[in-house]
Structure formats: C-alpha cells, structure tokens
Amino acid sequence: MSRRYAARLLKVSPRLPIRDLARTIEFYTSVLDFETSGSWPADEPTFVILERDGAVLQFYVSEQSDHCGFGTISIETDDARSVHTALAEKVTIERGPEVYWYGRREFSFRDPDGYAVIISERTSDPPDCTEDSEL
C-alpha cells in the first residue's frame, strides 16, 4: 500500500458528545477503571479526557443532546471473559461474550448516553455465534 506521507499515525482518541459530564466520568471511572487525565475549563468543566492502559476517550458536553449516543466505542482487551465477569453486575450486557466468525470474542453494553461499548479480544477459538452481528 502506498502512503501519501511517511509519518505514522500513533493513536486514535475519539471525542464524543455527551449530556452530563459528571455522569460520564463516574461511569467510565467506576465501571471501566478509566482515570481522568484532564478536564476543562477548570471552573465548570465541559470536556474531559479519560485514560486507561493506553486507551484514551474524550468527551464534551453538547448543547444538542440529540447528537449524543450514536456510535460505538470498541475497546480491545487481552481477556474479554474476565472483563465480562467484572462488569456483569455493573451493566446490562446486550450480547456476548461470544466468538464471532471474524476471530474475536466480544460482548457489548451501553454507556449512560447510549453509546454501544464493545469489549473485544482476538482469539483463535472456533466461532460459537452463528448470527451476523452489527459491527
């Protein structure tokens, strides 16, 4: 594959609109053990960066709440089953954990703004899910 420039892309940090900053921070820090690495402005924050193990999520309060919750946050892990066990009583699991035809064990749930959160790991285990899932 030919590239137009030589620089490598090092990280992707999605920036997503939300309705309530405190609720989002509480969810991601208490449920998924993210830590707040910064929020702005200092007096009344409307933007936050959350980090864990090199994964970075950015959220901002949107004045248009109908823009929130449309999308998927896919988080790769090295052990989806242990994450599932840790989260099973904290969130409502929508699907999984199952091994899909594309070589990943996944499960999903939603955050308070409606974003689908997929926890995913690469696996060579045989598929145990025969349905086609939305990606």
CATH code, residues 10-68: 3.10.180.10
In this prediction the pTM is: 0.90
DSSP 8-state assignment for residue 26? H
Give the Cα separation of 122 and 105 in Å (integer).
6
* Rounded percentage of the chain residues whose pLDDT exceeds 90: 82
Question: Does residue 30 surpass a pLDDT of 70?
Answer: yes
Asked if pLDDT for residue 135 goes beyond 50, the answer is no
Within 53-101, where are the H helices? 80-87
Residues 6+ apart with CB under 8 A from 92: 109, 110
Please provide the CATH number assigned to the domain covering 69-135: 3.10.180.10
Q: How far is CA 12 from the centre of its chain?
A: 12
Q: How many CB atoms lie within 10 A of CB 90?
A: 12
For the chain, the structural domain boundaries read 10-68, 69-135
